[in-house]
Amino acid sequence: MQKPESSDAAATGDLAVRVRGVTKEFGSGGSLTRALRGVDLDVPYGEMLMLVGPSGCGKTTLVSIVAGTLQPTAGEVTVLGLDLVAMGNGRKVRFRRDNVGFVFQAFNLLPALSAAENAAVPLLIAGWRRADAIEVASEILETLGLGDRLTNLPSELSGGQQQRVAIARALVHEPRILVCDEPTSALDAENGRITMELIERIAVQPGRAVIVVTHDARVYSFADRIASMEDGRIVSIEAGPHNSTDAAVPR
Amino acid sequence: MLWIAWKMLIGNRVKYLGIVFGVVFAALLIAQQASTFCGLMLLTISQIRDAAGPDIWVMDRKVQFVDDIKPLSDTELFRVKGVPGVEWAVRFFKGIARARLEEGSYEQVILLGLDDATLVGAPQGIFMGSIADLRKPDAVIIDDAGYKRIWPGEPYRIGRTFEMNDHRAVLVGITTASRTFQSFPIIYTRYSQAVRFAPPERKVLSFVLAEPAAGVPSAEVCRRIEAQTGLQALTHDQFIWKTIDYYLAKTGIPVNFGITVFLGFLVGTAIAGQTFYLFTVENIRQFGALKAMGTSNWTILLMVLSQAVQVGVVGYGIGVGLAALFGLSTRGLVRLAFYMPWQVLAITAAAVFAIVLLASLLSIRRVLVVDPAIVFRG
Ligand SMILES: Nc1ncnc2c1ncn2[C@@H]1O[C@H](COP(=O)(O)OP(=O)(O)O)[C@@H](O)[C@H]1O
Ligand SMILES: [Mg+2]
């Protein structure tokens, strides 16, 4: 059954992400791992939510489900008003292509492509002409301060520069959900701060939502809200330091 | 997206060269062996091809290939001549003789006897002496490779003599000729003389060469000759293929070449396939990232296939090029048979295509099942 998207959107209102009772189990029998044990989470549009907690508590699993790369074992997941659990595989691929930007801890740039080509990849996946895609990607890289590194390969860039290319790639197609998994943990303090500033400046906008997984306390200050996880559950959600200064975002 | 696939492929220089090497290896081996095989087959039919002119060869029913001589009685010539649609017909002798040289040593030779009146079947490449001199008493013409074999290191000189079956032979000309399978010297002479040079036999007529009348298809004339005389009549092309078929079916030659070609195919597939798989595994996170970002499995499949086709085309080009260079460089140098018709190129192309497809199968399976969620894992 295919519901019209508008009715879904009405059901979730101002929420970019709505997660209810989500569980995720890996393996079976003796080797069963309960990565998520019933998670409820709402992320309104215009918000940067940080997901924190000890290693192995299920942060990556949760954002993978929200980003549509992983299917939950049970529960409801509605993103941008679309029911991800019921969504077929082909539609999910297109959902990710059109709506999701990814920033990974390991950058995951294509080593054979230049910075501009890497940043252009989501547009190329969406079927843009190569020259157009690279032009748009180059513009973003320029705003990220990499205007003189467009033709460099990732191996010729520093870690901070690579992560900025990854951010350009995550944002080039103007996705409405940005998912960042430990974007700063491979970077030094200075580059980590620059990275978070860029994400905040470009990605946090009305009609969009950003989820950042981190255990880097230095970047907590950028959060509107901080959700703490433990052992597959969200144990607390607090307003972040950033919250008080951002009155435009509805709570 | 396909250019991304190509950049990924070429960007990994070591693996890329490894895969291409596998394909080059197979293409080179297959093309070289197939060309050598074709060259050998060409040797087996060289005497049919060299006897240019008449389109119909008439022989005993049981003859299976050109060196399979089953002599007819001389009267068969007149029976063939009597078949409607035969414009003319002449005798042609082919046999083995022993040449006794001036210094007393012996040399096995191929003896070809041409119709005394018309010299039909005469060699086309005489470069010393003349074909007309063949009409002189005891006259023979020899092929140049044969001359070098009998008189190694000596300059070409006509007027030399030797003996066959106690009859004196005088060299009146030297000609080029296609190499034969056994690469014995080839001696051309008149029919009436050939039967004296050859060891005596009750029947001596090897072939009747006939030409169809204008407007009558050769195949039709062959049919009539067979019906009327009970002999076997083949067109030039049919005789060529009958000879090749014989070697294909009755000798181990194709099996031996087939085994080599097959090994080349296997080894090439193994090298290319293994390296390609390693390449894919090494890049699996990249494929995972592309999938996470919304690349469909269909596109991923096309990317891997285009990588396979890319190495296939490059490897094929280099491999076939090397095989051709090999053929060129050995031409005349060593007595190696080498003939690369377009069929060899087509077969090699098909083999290479199969190799890269097989080689990419594992990789395709691997990338199709890869979970896009791996990109979040460390
Ligand atoms: N693909 C998987 N197969 C098996 N277990 C997994 C898999 N992915 C994650 N896990 C397990 O699920 C739990 C949560 O993992 P993860 O979401 O990566 O935690 P975090 O990102 O908070 O460190 C861990 O115990 C991990 O070992
Ligand atoms: Mg994690």
Distance from residue B241's CA to the centre of ligand 1 (Å): 69
How far is it, in rounded angstroms, from Cα A16 to Cα A42? Answer: 8
CATH of A15-250, one of 3.40.30.10, 3.40.50.300, 3.90.190.20, 3.40.50.2020: 3.40.50.300
DSSP states along A69-127: SS--SEEEEEETTEETTT--HHHHHHHHHHHEEEE-TT----TTS-HHHHHHHHHHHTT
How many domains would you assign to chain B? 2
Name the one residue in this structure whose structure tokens are 């002798």.
B93
* Same domain, yes or no: B143 and B222: yes
The angle that helices B297-330 and B284-292 make with each other, rounded to 10 degrees, is 140
Q: Which of B10, B291, B373 sits opposite A64 (nearest CB)?
A: B373
Can you give the pLDDT at residue A5?
44
Q: Are residues B291 and B201 in the same domain?
A: no
Tokens (6 digits) for B265:
């195919």
Are residues B202 and B257 located together in one domain of the fold?
no
Residue B50 vs residue A234, higher pLDDT = A234
Instruction: Report if residue B237 sits inside a domain.
Output: no
CB contact under 8 A, B292 and A124: no
Residue indicated by tokens 């809200």: A225
Cβ of A33 closer than 6 Å to ligand 1, yes or no, is yes
Q: Which sign does the torsion angle of CA B356, B359, B362, B367 carry?
A: negative
The parent domain of residue B274 ranges over 2-43+252-376
Residues B225 and B77 in one domain: yes
- Please tell me whether residues B215 and B256 are part of one structural domain: no
The answer to whether the CB atoms of A96 and B293 lie below 8 A apart is: yes
Give every residue of chain B whose pLDDT is below 70, as ranges. Answer: 331-336, 378
- Whose C-alpha lies nearest to ligand 1, atom 25? A56
Q: ipTM exceeding 0.90?
A: no
Residues B182 and B219 in one domain: yes
Alpha helices in A144-242 (DSSP H): 159-171, 189-203
Q: Residue A181 Cα, ligand 2 centroid: separation in angstroms?
A: 7
| E strands present in chain B | 56-59, 86-100, 106-114, 125-129, 139-143, 161-164, 167-176, 186-190, 207-212, 232-235
C-alpha A28 – ligand 2 centre gap (Å): 21
pLDDT at A162: 92
Q: Report DSSP state, residue B213.
A: P
Query: Are residues B78 and B28 both part of a single domain?
Result: no
For residues B183 and B298, membership in a common domain is answered with: no
Has residue B243 been placed in a domain? no
pTM: predicted TM-score of the whole model, two decimal places: 0.77
Radius of gyration for chain A, computed over Cα atoms and rounded to the nearest angstrom: 18
pLDDT of residue A105: 80
The arithmetic mean of pLDDT across residues A134-138, rounded, is: 95
Query: Is the CB of A126 inside 8 Å of chain B's CB atoms?
Result: yes
* Residue B9 and residue B152 in one domain: no
| Contact yes or no for B188/B69 (Cβ under 8 A) | no
Of the candidates B180, B195, B230, which is a domain's last residue? B230
pLDDT confidence band for A248 (50 / 70 / 90): very low
pLDDT-derived band at A12 (thresholds 50, 70, 90) equals low
Are residues B215 and B79 part of one domain?
yes
For A141, the enclosing helix (H) or strand (E) is helix A130-143
Q: For B146-204, how does the pLDDT look when each residue is reduced to its tens digit (9 = 90+)?
A: 899 888 888 999 899 898 988 899 999 999 888 787 778 999 999 999 988 988 888 88
